[in-house]
A and B are shown apart, each in its own frame.
Chain A
């Protein structure tokens, strides 16, 4: 039976991980996401489902533990917040290079540096433009509610195993810390070791039994072979764009103006849509649910309909670059962001729309 609970985003994510049949979680405490490992530890998941939970000595160790367990076909995840994700990026690049399925969660806080423990969305570039070294992409899911914090865990595992690739859940301190109603899914049974060997034995290093040896590595010193590996990765990313793009259109049908916002910003922008409509401004919201793949075509098409677009983020202007690229100059695209842990109000957002987009259009 599914279950209705009032939970913090971080706790809902942790509970969802157990219920998703995850085999292991490795993490290191950092605000504002420490509730993930704290909640897991209180639940004794080893007894509930056999899931392994271990507090690592660092974020670096945690992501490499993920790499180890993932190389054997286990459903494995880690979570952290911005500075900790910076530390994990080497490991994430290796996961992509070695084609390993894993789920990484970033509950963003403000930066750069130690920054602040308050919410931020300033890791957009880090998440969708590489972050780590080399030619790779992350499939990035951006939850905008506690419900999505829970739902996206199993979605992320499904994508990770579909593509044998690391998947990032990009949340922030606001979604992670706030409490909302959440419907929790039923428990998914963890795969037995024999099932893992049967399903993933073609590549996973589970012990050489009845087959040639399996090797997991991201290294290839022969240029032609390494280039072929990179091309194979790019094919995966193209397939993600074709098959697994996710977005939500809110009141876009008759919209003359458009907000683009994801995660916590989209919740606030949605209120701004309502305020705008009360004032007679026909404004809609495009919410990218996946940040890679990005809803490029949808934005390109909407640009034929609207007079201007405001990209709303908790950053100094990161996603706005992708919005501008997608729109190809058809209409003005402006950015409105707050940083350093400050959060925009719906009124502010609407005001900026009126000043930067609507007034400018009239001039």
Chain B
């Protein structure tokens, strides 16, 4: 039997979600964004909610998320996605509204919008991709850049004394009464992808049940910004990012799982 004979509908065991377009991803090879996009779209397809889902794209590497996600998307000004999501969720209370934001967008310029949307307990999902660097603008220091980490604006390494410590915004918002589900995941191995997808599904289910704000951080790599090959960047992420940003659920059903 030839390979071509095997390719037929009845033998198909997996297919790409119809909610990802066929456009070539603009992300660097090895970057976690593509996987994070993909599992988010898979969840929306599996829950059958595309007709009622509105996404908010940020400014940063994922500004062009709307080129890849085959859903209705509004692209926000830098950092303001939670404000947009608040308004859409308030005026369309039965819709599923999610933001997809990076660390500079969510934890630097958009800190106020993030904290206040969380504090109000808006019935939305925030997906937060944290790779500790500004990727799109070419590798500048982010609010989550690790101590000593070299970037183009911390060329001798992040100095805590003058530049502050990396901001654990996820722990910060977990302490607000308005957040219902707060978790930190990654997408660098199959096991982690499955767990992250499960967390995103839980988050969207919380919206369905009007439980309030669900916040899914995905610690990711930036091999270009970190100036490493993809494999090395994942190893570096495990060795350096995870100790500072430990994976796991932080708040479930409104209850803190860890003493912070």
A-side residues, CB < 8 A to B, are 23-24, 26, 52, 54, 56-58, 60-62, 64-69, 71-72, 74, 76, 90-91, 94, 98, 193, 205-209, 213-219
B83's partner among A24, A65, A207 (CB-CB below 8 A) is: A65
> Nearest residue in A to B52 (C-beta to C-beta)?
A207
Tell me whether A24 and B54 are in contact (CB under 8 A).
Answer: no
**Cross-interface CB contact of A66 among B53, B56, B87, B116, cutoff 8 Å:** B87
Return A166 CB to nearest CB of chain B, in Å.
14
Task: Select one of A65, A94, A205 contacting B73, CB under 8 A.
Answer: A205
User: Which residues 36-89 in B have Cβ within 8 Å of A in the complex?
Assistant: 50-54, 56-57, 63-64, 66, 70-77, 80, 83-88
- Give complex CA distance A215, B65 in Å: 10
What are 7 A-B contacts with C-beta separation under 8 Å?
Answer: A26-B87, A60-B83, A61-B80, A68-B83, A98-B74, A209-B52, A219-B75
Contact B51 A64 (CB under 8 A): no
Binding site for A on B (CB under 8 A): 50-54, 56-57, 63-64, 66, 70-77, 80, 83-88, 90-92, 95, 112-113, 116
Please give me the 4 A-B residue pairs with the lowest Cβ-Cβ distance, nearest first: A68-B84, A68-B87, A64-B80, A64-B83
Q: A206-B72, A207-B52 are in contact. List 10 more A-B contacts (CB 8 A).
A: A23-B91, A56-B116, A57-B113, A61-B116, A65-B86, A68-B88, A206-B54, A206-B95, A208-B71, A215-B75
Given A68-B86, A217-B66, A207-B50 contact (CB < 8 Å):
yes
Closest residue to B53 on the A side, CB-wise?
Answer: A207
Closest Cβ neighbor of B109 among chain A residues: A60
Partner of A52, one of B64, B72, B90: B90
Residue on B nearest A214 in the bound complex, by CB: B72
A215 to B74, CA, bound (A): 6
Q: Which residues of B contact A213 (CB under 8 A)?
A: 66, 70-73
Q: Given A207-B50, A215-B75, A219-B75: A61 and B90 within 8 A (CB)?
A: no
Chain B residue contacts of A193, Cβ below 8 A: 92
CA distance A56 to B112 in the complex (A): 10
With most chain A CB atoms within 10 A of its CB, the pick from B64, B86, B91 is: B91
CB-nearest residue of chain B to A51:
B91
Set B51, B87, B90, B113: member contacting A208, Cβ < 8 A: B51
Q: What's the Cα separation between A30 and B84 when bound, in Å? A: 22
A65:B51 contact, CB within 8 angstroms: no
CB-CB under 8 A for A209 and B51, given A24-B91, A72-B88, A72-B92: yes
Residues of A within 8 A of B52 (CB): 207, 209
Measured between beta carbons, the chain A residues less than 8 angstroms from B83 are 56, 60-62, 64-65, 67-68
Cβ-defined partner of A67 (8 Å) among B54, B76, B112: B76
